[in-house]
Amino acid sequence: MSQTSADESAKPLPPAHIAIIMDGNNRWAKKKHLPSVAGHKAGAVAVRKAVEAAAESGVNVLTLFAFSSENWQRPKVEVEGLMSLFMRSLKKEVKRLKEHNIRLRVIGDLSQFSPALQKQIQLSESETAYNSGMSLVIAANYGGRWDITQAAKNVCQAVLNGDMSIDDIDEAGIGEYIQLADLPCPDLLIRTSGEERLSNFLLWQTAYSEFVFLPVLWPDFDKAHFNEALSIYHGRQRRYGGR
């Protein structure tokens, strides 16, 4: 066996699914005495770097927390800027995603977005629906508690419809109605900016994820930081409650 093939065989497998809480855009802008929208624009550039790094590493699913259900409480001008940036990014990046065989999915309560943005989301998803490479999931107007609540409602409806009985309600049954039920749960969750909490993100799906908290602000996140998180992940032992 050649040295190259031996090195490749010894290389640890990448996480199947990585989730990232992209935190620090506002602090980045504030440090540079710029408006918040400048931080979000810089953050969009970091998104591209993260997507490229994940795809190159062989990750199957990358989920990014773009806009939480609590973010509507931010100043109106900032929210409007975020919505405008989301629309532009969807239009601009779809071609790049198609070129790299990446499938786009958006999860969350999309009904709260403008009709134009909802239409663009649907168009972007449909244009990449048959791509067979990495899945890029954008969580927008998403909250983990909302996710579990919606699943509970759907389970109740299934019982009322006679499609399942109360005795059928178990972890697996509820899990079928959770967002991303058809994808593996995140192996690794990364949060930038030094904050160490989930902030209502993928509460059900990250039950056994490894968490890596990095001090870097999101707009400064690059491939080196991505690889640092992977290195930390590979140094962990995942026991799932066992020994």
Active site residues: 23, 71
Burial of 129 (0-12, 13-18, 19+ CB in 10 A): exposed
CB-based contacts of 165, cutoff 8 Å, min separation 6: 159
Tokens 């058809």, residue?
A: 182
Please give the Cα distance from 75 to 221 (Å, whole number).
25
Tokens 């962990």, residue?
A: 236
Burial of 162 (0-12, 13-18, 19+ CB in 10 A): exposed
